[in-house]
Amino acid sequence: MRDKSNNILLINPWIHDFAAFDLWAKPLGLLYVGSTLLQFGYDAHLIDCLYNYGYPYKERKFGKKSFYSEQIDKPSIFNNIPRTFKRYGIPRDEFRRRLKDVSTPFMICVTSHMTYWYPGVFEAIGIIKSIFPSVPVVLGGIYATLCHEHAVKNSGADYVIEGAGELEVLKLADNLSGNSRDYGIVRKWVEDEMVPAYELYPELDSVSVITSRGCPYRCSYCASFLFESKFTLRRPEHIVAELESYVKGYGVADIAFFDDALLMDPQRHIIPILELLIKKGICVRLHTPNGVHAKYIDQQLARLLRVSGFRTIRLGFEGTSTALQKASKNKVSCRELESALHHLREAEDHRHVCNDHNDTTWDIGIYLLIGMPGQTVGEVVESIEYINGLGAKIKLAEYSPVPGTEEFRDASRLCPEVVGEPLMQNKSTFATVGMGVDYDTFDNVKAMAKRLNARLRDSHINRELS
Ligand code: B12
């Protein structure tokens, strides 16, 4: 064993973007990496630039938050976008102060999320290097995986690791510190026992969780398969024990599921999870900020979602165009969407497990992907009107071209810059330059959806009052 520092520093960097909201987001990948390091003998310390650490933020519905933010200069490539650009997260000086407060680590792990958020990653690495010039910096996560070469060339990290990082980081830490061990044991623990290292936060009012890895679907616009080629489900008892520990141990009020396919194989997975949550009387608001598959929502599942305490449900929908439905390998048809909505509405009369809560509303919205290559404005408008006609809330999701996906090829033909410059993969940017549709048109489409949602809200309120 080494006699030097045993400390590893974990960093969740800032977001640089036009907009960012905290949908109960925690850097899950980094927390899993941290959990592995802690389990196998290292000390870990976390600086999460997106945690508020006492800085002001606005509270939104169901514990959602706005991040603390400061306006910064736009990268020049965004000059034609008439919106302000911000650094979301703690001030730079706070980050510096926190780095100086930790005892010198022997390795620093930095995570990354959206590919187009790399400037926040680079900024963090630059500051880290100015304070700890000789400590190796390891970069992993979504950007590091999807834009590996870009990260190797430009990030300033000493190591850039692709894909799942638990084992790789432990091997590297062992290597740097002269340790050796049986990685079969580690692999087994990662598969069966691991939970994210939430103990690294001073306090928590919400957490995000993942109950499965990978995705059995191969949607043409999604890169999930590049992170995990296999779809694996965790054991329901293990998941419920984890959720219970957050509610009882930290007193969290909100839990968000970050799975790619939460409802897949319902009889084996989500149904036993929800039944167990209900049986144990665990009272917490549950959310799926990531869209779920409407086709699995039948009467039984809708009631269980309701009774177990789900408050935010987002259904993924590729639009009314059959060509786009095909691009998602027919993940959801109009008929399936209508049927799911029907069951969810019918389930609304059921009380959920926290009967002491006065506010029992649930927030159901339908994600509609806009700005896909080949998608026309007419198709988008038709889909918006269709969703509104179903009496459902429209949540527009602007398309981000994701490297490694089938759709990326088409996107790069329309806008070659997306290949070499990840900033051009920003969902806001693409709407402006990529598809030959101008920014105003997208703004008008967004305004239309907003208007229809407002009208729908008013009609619900009127119905409740009458
Ligand atoms: C949950 C999720 C969200 C959540 C939360 C996001 C967040 N801020 O955390 C919500 C719903 C908010 C969201 C929103 C969006 N998302 Co999203 N999301 C995901 C999803 C499904 C899971 C991410 C996750 O938490 N995985 C679980 C953890 C455990 O995995 P992980 O973070 O990858 O960590 C592992 C490794 O990466 C690695 N690792 C991580 N950190 C580190 C650090 C070190 C040092 C090392 C060595 C390794 C390492 O090890 C970890 C453990 O194995 C991914 C798909 C996917 N499967 O990755 C898409 C994904 C990231 N999202 C994507 C997209 C397109 C979007 C949206 C643009 C969709 C839209 N149009 O609105 C928005 C963008 C939001 C914004 N403000 O710009 C794209 C990426 C786009 C891009 N260009 O980067 C993905 C890849 C899906 C896709 N379409 O391919 N998303």
Alpha helix stretches (DSSP H) within 62-165: 92-101, 118-131, 142-146, 148-154
Q: Which residues of 144-168 are buried (b: 16+ CB within 10 A; e: fewer)?
A: bbbbbebbeeebbbebbbeebbbeb
| pLDDT reported for residue 328 | 61
* 198 occurs within a structural domain: no
Statement to judge: residues 167 and 280 lie in one domain: no
CATH code of the domain covering residue 109: 3.40.50.280
DSSP structure class, residue 234:
-
* 250 occurs within a structural domain: yes
Query: pLDDT per residue over 103-160, tens digit each?
Result: 999 999 999 999 999 999 999 999 999 999 999 999 999 999 999 999 999 999 999 9
Q: List the Cα angle 301/303/305 in 5-degree steps.
A: 70
What is each CA distance from 52 to 134, 218, 292, in whole angstroms?
29, 36, 29
Q: What is the largest CA-CA distance in the chain?
A: 73
Q: Which of 147, 167, 189 is the last residue of a domain?
A: 189
| pLDDT reported for residue 365 | 96
Statement to judge: residues 123 and 212 lie in one domain: no
Statement to judge: residues 237 and 162 lie in one domain: no
Query: pLDDT per residue over 373-410, tens digit each?
Result: 778 888 889 999 999 999 999 999 988 999 999 989 88
Statement to judge: residues 419 and 273 lie in one domain: yes
CATH code of the domain covering residue 223: 3.80.30.20
The sign of the torsion formed by the CA atoms of 444, 447, 453, 459 equals negative
Q: Which two tokens stand for residue 321?
A: 């165009």
Statement to judge: residues 453 and 341 lie in one domain: yes
Q: What share of the chain is helix, strand, coil (3-state, %, to 5)?
A: 45, 15, 40
Hey, whose CA ends up nearest to atom 22 of ligand 1? 258
- With tokens 């959310």, the residue in question is 287
Q: Which of 189, 218, 252 is the last residue of a domain?
A: 189
* 194 occurs within a structural domain: no
Query: pLDDT per residue over 67-98, tens digit each?
Result: 999 999 999 999 888 889 999 999 999 999 99
Q: List phi, psi (to 5°) of 307.
A: -70, -35
User: How far apart are the CA of 368 and the centre of ligand 1, in A?
Assistant: 18
Statement to judge: residues 217 and 156 lie in one domain: no
| pLDDT reported for residue 433 | 43
Which has the closest alpha carbon to 145: 441, 403, 466, 426?
Answer: 403
- With tokens 């706070």, the residue in question is 94
Statement to judge: residues 222 and 337 lie in one domain: yes
Q: List phi, psi (to 5°) of 445.
A: -65, -40
Q: Which two tokens stand for residue 349?
A: 């009369």
* 445 occurs within a structural domain: yes
Where the chain has pLDDT below 50, the residues are 1-3, 431-434
| pLDDT reported for residue 330 | 66
- With tokens 């592995």, the residue in question is 36
| pLDDT reported for residue 459 | 82
| pLDDT reported for residue 351 | 76
Statement to judge: residues 295 and 262 lie in one domain: yes
User: How far apart are the CA of 187 and the centre of ligand 1, in A?
Assistant: 22
Statement to judge: residues 150 and 244 lie in one domain: no
Give dist(CA 233, CA 231) in Å, integer: 7
Statement to judge: residues 165 and 266 lie in one domain: no
* 240 occurs within a structural domain: yes
Hey, whose CA ends up nearest to atom 46 of ligand 1? 140
| Contact present, 243 and 319 (Cβ < 8 Å) | no
| Contact present, 287 and 257 (Cβ < 8 Å) | yes
Neighbours of 413 (CB within 10 A): 10
Give dist(CA 41, CA 37) in Å, integer: 6
The alpha carbon of 220 is separated from its chain's Cα centroid by a whole number of angstroms, namely 19
Statement to judge: residues 159 and 254 lie in one domain: no
* 64 occurs within a structural domain: yes
User: Which structural domain range is residue 426 located in?
Assistant: 203-465
Burial of residue 385, with CB atoms counted within 10 A of its CB: 0-12 exposed, 13-18 middle, 19 or more buried: middle
User: How far apart are the CA of 451 and the centre of ligand 1, in A?
Assistant: 30
Burial of residue 399, with CB atoms counted within 10 A of its CB: 0-12 exposed, 13-18 middle, 19 or more buried: buried
Give dist(CA 382, CA 21) in Å, integer: 28
Among the atoms of ligand 1, which is closest to the Cα of residue 23?
Answer: 12
Statement to judge: residues 439 and 295 lie in one domain: yes
* 427 occurs within a structural domain: yes
Hey, whose CA ends up nearest to atom 7 of ligand 1? 25
Pocket of ligand 1 (CB under 6 A): 20, 23, 25, 28-30, 32-33, 109-111, 113-116, 138-142, 145, 161, 164-166, 168-169, 210, 221-224, 227, 258, 260, 289-290, 397-398, 400, 402, 425, 427
| pLDDT reported for residue 329 | 63
Q: Which residues pair with 368 in a beta bridge?
A: 317, 396
* 269 occurs within a structural domain: yes
Q: Which of 134, 162, 189 is the last residue of a domain?
A: 189
Pairing, β 363-370 against β 393-398: parallel
Q: List phi, psi (to 5°) of 295.
A: -60, -20
Q: List phi, psi (to 5°) of 341.
A: -60, -40
Give the start-end residues of each E strand in 271-327.
285-292, 310-317
Q: Which two tokens stand for residue 194?
A: 């691991």
| Contact present, 165 and 33 (Cβ < 8 Å) | yes
User: Which of 221, 258, 317, 430 has most ligand 1 atoms within 8 Å of CB, for mutation?
Assistant: 258
| Contact present, 164 and 210 (Cβ < 8 Å) | no
Hey, whose CA ends up nearest to atom 91 of ligand 1? 290
How many structural domains comprise the chain?
Answer: 2
SS3 45: strand
